[in-house]
């Protein structure tokens, strides 16, 4: 009956849960330096203040739904290959792992989806409230805390788990140069409707061509992308 769950996670995810970094990737300052970091802090603080009533409402709804924890933390790989706990509102049932594997055993189509993107449509793990939060991307709002802690950015590459690094190949070195983003080129470019190879390309292109103005454009484009729930599931 706690507030935070650390066990609601995506199966096939991580064997790195408590390590702090990978040994084979180091770089200097994160992408964007002080100007990007200043924008991150300003937006994150403002959003937390403005959205605090919404946060309270979501907390109440999740508790009323099944009485379980409100938040869950999932380990992701970020800037300079460091692992961090990425926070979200809990959207899944307590026995999420079992529900997923049972579904994959019974549905070959879902298995193909999972192997390609580590996500599936009509996810059986979602709660009634969680499905709505996921559709509107509201479940990701607690990552504003990750941003204030310097683990994430408002705009950046999509946060990934350890097992996804191999899908990036040599392009993972570009990923390691930036803090993962609450939003990014992937989110405004179709999200789950694009192939994984396209996601990797978008992340690399974002890092290679970064500018503060590009971040602002992505932030503006995120609003209609979220409202239309394009590629969100």
Among 6-10, 129-133, 205-209, 229-233, the range with the most confident prediction by mean pLDDT is 205-209
Categorize the per-residue pLDDT at 134 as very low, low, confident or very high, splitting at 50, 70 and 90.
confident
Q: Which two tokens stand for residue 192?
A: 């789950």
Burial label for 42, CB within 10 Å (0-12, 13-18, 19+), is: exposed
Residues 6+ apart with CB under 8 A from 50: none
Q: Which residues pair with 5 in a beta bridge?
A: 72
* Sign, Cα dihedral of 102, 107, 108, 111: negative
Categorize the per-residue pLDDT at 32 as very low, low, confident or very high, splitting at 50, 70 and 90.
very high
What pLDDT does residue 177 have? Answer: 95
Domain boundaries, the chain: 4-227
Higher pLDDT, 57 or 116: 57
Buried b or exposed e, range 198-221, using 16+ CB within 10 angstroms: ebbbbbbebbeebeeeebeebbee
Rg (CA), the chain: 17
Report the distance separating Cα 175 and Cα 162, nearest Å.
13
What pLDDT does residue 182 have? Answer: 95
Task: Determine if the pTM surpasses 0.85.
Answer: no
């Amino acid at each position: 009956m706690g507030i935070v769950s650390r066990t609601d996670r995506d199966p096939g995810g991580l064997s790195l849960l408590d390590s702090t970094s990978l040994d084979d990737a180091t770089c200097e300052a994160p992408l964007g330096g002080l100007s990007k970091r200043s924008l991150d802090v300003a937006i994150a603080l403002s959003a937390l203040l403005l959205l605090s009533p919404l946060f309270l409402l979501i907390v109440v709804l999740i508790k009323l739904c099944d009485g379980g924890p409100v938040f869950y933390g999932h380990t992701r790989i970020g800037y300079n290959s460091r692992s961090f706990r990425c926070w979200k509102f809990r959207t899944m049932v307590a026995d999420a792992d079992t529900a997923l594997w049972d579904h994959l055993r019974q549905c070959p189509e879902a298995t193909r989806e999972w192997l390609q993107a580590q996500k599936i449509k009509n996810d059986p793990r979602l709660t009634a409230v969680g499905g709505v939060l996921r559709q509107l991307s509201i479940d990701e709002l607690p990552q504003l805390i990750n941003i204030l802690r310097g683990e994430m950015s408002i705009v950046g590459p999509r946060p990934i788990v350890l097992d996804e690094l191999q899908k990036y190949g040599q392009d993972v070195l570009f990923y390691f140069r930036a803090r993962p983003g609450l939003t990014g080129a992937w989110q405004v470019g179709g999200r789950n409707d694009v192939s994984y190879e396209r996601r990797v390309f978008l992340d690399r292109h974002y890092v290679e061509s970064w500018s503060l103005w590009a971040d602002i454009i992505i932030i503006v484009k995120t609003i209609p992308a979220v409202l239309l729930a394009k590629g969100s599931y």
